[in-house]
Amino acid sequence: MTTALNEGDSRQTAVPTGIAASPLLAPWAESPSTVRSYLSLIRELAVTSFKLKYAGSVLGYIWSLIKPLMLFGMMYLIFAAFLLKGRTSSAENFPVELLVAIVLWTFFADATTTALASIAGNGDMIRKAYFPRWILVVASTMSAAMTLIVNAVLIFVLGLLFHWYQVGWQSLLLIPLLLELYVLSLGIGMLLAALYVYYRDLGHIWEILLQLLFYLSAIIFPFSLLSPQLQGLAAMNPVAQIIEDARRAVVSSAIPWSTDLLGRRLVVPLVLVIGALGVGIWSFQVLSKRFGERL
Amino acid sequence: MSKRFRIPLDQAGTLQYRFSHPLSSARYRDLLAVNDVSFSVRPGEFIGIAGPNGCGKSTLLKMLSRIYAPDRGRISVRGRVSPFLELGVGFKPELTARENIFLGGSILGLTRKQLASRVHAVLEFAELVDFADHKLKNYSSGMTVRLAFAVAMLADADILLLDEVLAVGDARFQQKCFDVFGHYKRTNRTIVLVTHDLGTLELYCDRVLLMQGGRVVADGKPSDVISRYRRIVGAMSDGADTDPGRLSTALTGRRWGSRDVEITSVRLLDRQGQPHQSFMTGAPLTVAVDYVSNNLDGEFACAIAFKRADGAYLAGPNSKVVPESVPPVKVGFQGTIFFRIPSVTLLRASYTLSVGLYDDHLNHAFDVVQDVLEFQVNDDRGRQGMVDLGGTYGHTFTARPLEQRSVNKAKDQSTLA
């Protein structure tokens, strides 16, 4: 402030004029809590990827419904109509069982594969901006969950019209079952996303493993087709346990609960689910330190 | 703090390699990108980090922003750091400007409610109110940059980290950026800028760190550090992309003429004869025009026009009207014409320079290049207007007796009442 003309500057700091008057630069009255800002970022990323997934395609969201329906149609033709014809006790319910299983399976496959690429596919964001990296994994699984919810609601309403389901109090169990499925997908997704940054072969490996798991998860055949020992073994697979219990909850009371099959060994799928989340979080924590350099 | 990168020599990261070389451990070349660097920055400081390519300056910035974790040492930060190193991170071309504001803003940690209250301010600042619902992919690059900058400013951070961010955008937009940075400085916030552009460092930074080979080799006033940088770049002799003087050789402006004498390069030189793109008011400036005679034996004239970035024609001194004229040439001659300004009287703004070589009577154009160079003038004294007239204020006064003043005051009050 050596010259008289500089008085203009000192006035500027007192009453904002010019650029400082822009509402853009006004300080925020309050800053949101960490949890709230993470939640809003997850929501924004999930909604964006949901929107972008079908942007530019004519049928848009409908595709995410057509894909599981196509899978259902094929599996139904091959297994229910030809191979298993007359061999199951609950044959008339099987198409609905298959449909429920395929909708849940599609979510699991969708969530884990998008989670796998969620870090490596966002290299630009990771290299140029800082935010907690796990948010990308959660957002990608949430976007898959949004597809699941829309699909499930559509199929559920359709099924109610045609009396496909046996809805009762037991159907409320769907909520913890879906939660279990989400936790499992998130845990596996975290592990895959972190490892995929370092080992790109994982993309192919997971594709193969998913196919294997598809046949191990009693999606295309009812549990009742297996011998009792095998049923007990197969139900330890959390994906199979979730799908089978979901079928019991909404489709048919003829299907046994997994507790009936597993007894006290019910802890096995539950421990696997919690374990997957634990291993996922731990490995992500360790490996995420060098994401910035590896991408 | 230090940062070591392990650069794999083999494709050890794929399973194919792990299976075919089960016994060998992965081989790496260690690169110490940032080596034992230590410094502290005060609130309100505008600090620049300069250095040749690969000197570790971007790595350092990434450690400051927590994108990289240091291998040794620690970084302590007081206050909120803006999470963006570059503009437009996370922008999706398929989304509209409005949607991208919400997306970018949420990376900054803002909630939807907060963002909704500022969407209009962002659009207004970016001058894109009419394009709010257009998809980003239909934007020009300039529009995208303006939007990205406005979104980044939502952060209201205590510390801004910026990597080469100002290499984009037109001169007017850059000016707007620096006005914002000025506001940040006045509100006691810190800016750390990594850049190749020596002009920016010299004009805006309070302090410059010079890095070389992962170490800080100089830390101090911009003018001192920059001259040191020039020596390093000169010694390395590969600084082609960082040497501002080279920009002039592109001769990219509108050009015409018979080319009997041809302009080969135009440079702006500072006091030490170094090429420069920014000058201080009052500093000496020399325009150097390199030419070659393709087809002329005899006299010719040189004309230079100075314009402000908005096109206002400021001065057009040609060699026929200034005392020293251009000597005659022979075919095959090449030489350099200097136009020396002992003290720049222009004030802070962007300017362009046009250069022409004409015949001795200024009738026939040999080679004219319009707007061949763009340069900045900055003024550390905040003078207003276009030019420094160089005048001085004088002062005379007579003291009035004290009683008379209080009588006058009483009179004023009575008339008011």
Residue A3: pLDDT band (50, 70, 90) is very low
CA A65 from chain centre, in angstroms, equals: 15
Q: What percent of chain B has pLDDT over 90?
A: 7
Of B212, B255, B252, which is closest to residue B50 (Cα–Cα)? B212
Which of left, alpha, beta for B350 (phi over 0: left; psi -120 to 50: alpha)? Answer: beta
Suggest the residue from B4, B67, B151, B348 to mutate for an interface test with chain A (most A CBs closer than 10 A). Answer: B67
pLDDT score of A213 more than 70: yes
- CATH 3.40.630.30 assigned to domain B38-241? The reply is no
Question: What are the chain A neighbours of B66 within 8 Å (beta carbons)?
Answer: 130
Compare CB distances from A128 to B85, B92, B110 and report the shortest one's residue.
B85
Contacts of A285 (CB under 8 A, 6+ apart): none
The amino acid present at A149, given as its one-letter code, is I
Asked if B66 is an interface residue toward chain A (Cβ–Cβ < 8 A), one would say yes
Question: What are the chain A neighbours of B99 within 8 Å (beta carbons)?
Answer: 48
pLDDT score of B387 more than 70: yes
**What long-range pairs does A164-169 form, CB within 8 A, spacing at least 24?**
A164/A96, A164/A251, A165/A96, A165/A250, A165/A251, A166/A250, A166/A251, A166/A252, A166/A253, A167/A250
Residues β-bridged to residue B149: none
Give the separation between CA B68 and CA A294, rounded to whole angstroms.
10
Contact B109 A129 (CB under 8 A): no
Render pLDDT for B345-378 as a digit per residue (tens, 0 to 9): 888 888 888 888 888 878 788 888 877 888 888 8
Residue B243: pLDDT band (50, 70, 90) is very low
Compare CB distances from B121 to A22, A32, A200 and report the shortest one's residue.
A22
| Chains A, B: CB pairs < 8 Å | 126
C-beta atoms surrounding A200 within 10 Å: 13
pLDDT score of B137 more than 50: yes
In sequence order, which ranges of chain A are alpha helices (DSSP H)?
7-14, 34-53, 62-75, 94-118, 123-128, 134-161, 174-198, 202-216, 228-234, 238-250, 258-262, 267-287, 291-294
Q: Which of A26-30, A40-44, B250-254 has the highest mean pLDDT?
A: A40-44
pLDDT score of A144 more than 90: yes
Compare CB distances from B107 to A9, A131, A200 and report the shortest one's residue.
A131
Give the separation between CA B369 and CA A71, rounded to whole angstroms.
67
Give the separation between CA B384 and CA B180, rounded to whole angstroms.
19
pLDDT score of A32 more than 90: no
Helix (H) or strand (E) holding B307: strand B300-308
Asked if B156 is an interface residue toward chain A (Cβ–Cβ < 8 A), one would say yes
Question: What are the chain B neighbours of A22 within 8 Å (beta carbons)?
Answer: 121, 124-125
pLDDT score of A204 more than 90: yes
DSSP string, A71-84: HHHHHIIIIIIIIT
Fold designation for B247-378: Coagulation Factor XIII; Chain A, domain 1 (2.70.50)
Residue A5: pLDDT band (50, 70, 90) is very low
Render pLDDT for A45-67 as a digit per residue (tens, 0 to 9): 999 988 888 777 777 778 888 88
Q: Locate CATH 2.70.50.60 in chain B.
A: 247-378
Helix (H) or strand (E) holding B291: strand B285-293
What confidence score (pLDDT) does residue B103 get?
A: 93
Residue B311: pLDDT band (50, 70, 90) is confident
Q: Which of residues 33-62 of B touch A (CB under 8 A)?
A: 62
Average pLDDT over all residues of chain A: 84
Contact B109 A31 (CB under 8 A): yes
DSSP string, A170-220: GGGGHHHHHHHHHHHHHHHHHHHHHHHHH-TTHHHHHHHHHHHHHHHTTSS
B88: helix, strand or coil: coil
pLDDT score of B245 more than 50: no
Chain A, nearest residue to B135 by Cα: A55
Q: Is the ipTM of this complex over 0.95?
A: no
- Write out the two tokens for B50: 């300069």
Asked if B188 is an interface residue toward chain A (Cβ–Cβ < 8 A), one would say no
Question: What are the chain B neighbours of A289 within 8 Å (beta carbons)?
Answer: 69
Phi/psi at A240 (nearest 5 deg)? -65, -45
Compare CB distances from A27 to B13, B90, B156 and report the shortest one's residue.
B156
DSSP 8-state secondary structure symbol assigned to residue A162: T
What confidence score (pLDDT) does residue A11 get?
A: 37
What confidence score (pLDDT) does residue B237 get?
A: 43
- Distance from the Cα of A172 to chain B's closest Cα (Å) equals 32
- Write out the two tokens for B281: 């008011």
Give the separation between CA B254 and CA B266, rounded to whole angstroms.
14
Q: Locate CATH 3.40.50.300 in chain B.
A: 38-241
Of B44, B312, B405, B350, which is closest to residue B203 (Cα–Cα)? B350
The lowest-confidence range among A35-49, A109-123, A197-211, A227-241 is A227-241
Distances from the Cα of B160 to the Cαs of B130, B189, B265, in angstroms? 29, 8, 38
Torsion of CA A57, A59, A61, A63, to 10 degrees: -90
Contact A40 B186 (CB under 8 A): no
C-beta atoms surrounding A168 within 10 Å: 10
Average the pLDDT over A214-233 and give the result: 83
Give the separation between CA B99 and CA B23, rounded to whole angstroms.
52
Contacts of A157 (CB under 8 A, 6+ apart): none
pLDDT score of A90 more than 70: no
Phi/psi at A291 (nearest 5 deg)? -55, -45
Asked if B221 is an interface residue toward chain A (Cβ–Cβ < 8 A), one would say no
Of A103, A115, A252, A138, which is closest to residue A195 (Cα–Cα)? A115
Give the separation between CA B323 and CA A232, rounded to whole angstroms.
104
Phi/psi at A86 (nearest 5 deg)? 75, 0
- Write out the two tokens for B333: 């001659």
- Distance from the Cα of B215 to chain A's closest Cα (Å) equals 20
Largest CA distance in chain A: 100
DSSP 8-state secondary structure symbol assigned to residue A28: P
Contacts of B350 (CB under 8 A, 6+ apart): B171, B172, B175, B308, B309, B374, B375, B376
pLDDT score of A268 more than 50: yes
- Write out the two tokens for B165: 């961010």
Helix (H) or strand (E) holding B207: strand B207-212
Residue B408: pLDDT band (50, 70, 90) is low
Render pLDDT for A248-267 as a digit per residue (tens, 0 to 9): 888 877 778 888 888 788 88
Look up tokens 């003078």; give the residue. B383
- Distance from the Cα of A127 to chain B's closest Cα (Å) equals 7
What confidence score (pLDDT) does residue A2 get?
A: 39
* Burial (0-12, 13-18, 19+ Cβ within 10 Å), B342: exposed
Give the separation between CA A243 and CA A177, rounded to whole angstroms.
8
Give the pairing of strands B285-293 and B261-269.
Answer: antiparallel
Q: Which of A277-281, B328-332, B369-373 has the highest mean pLDDT?
A: A277-281
What confidence score (pLDDT) does residue B9 get?
A: 44
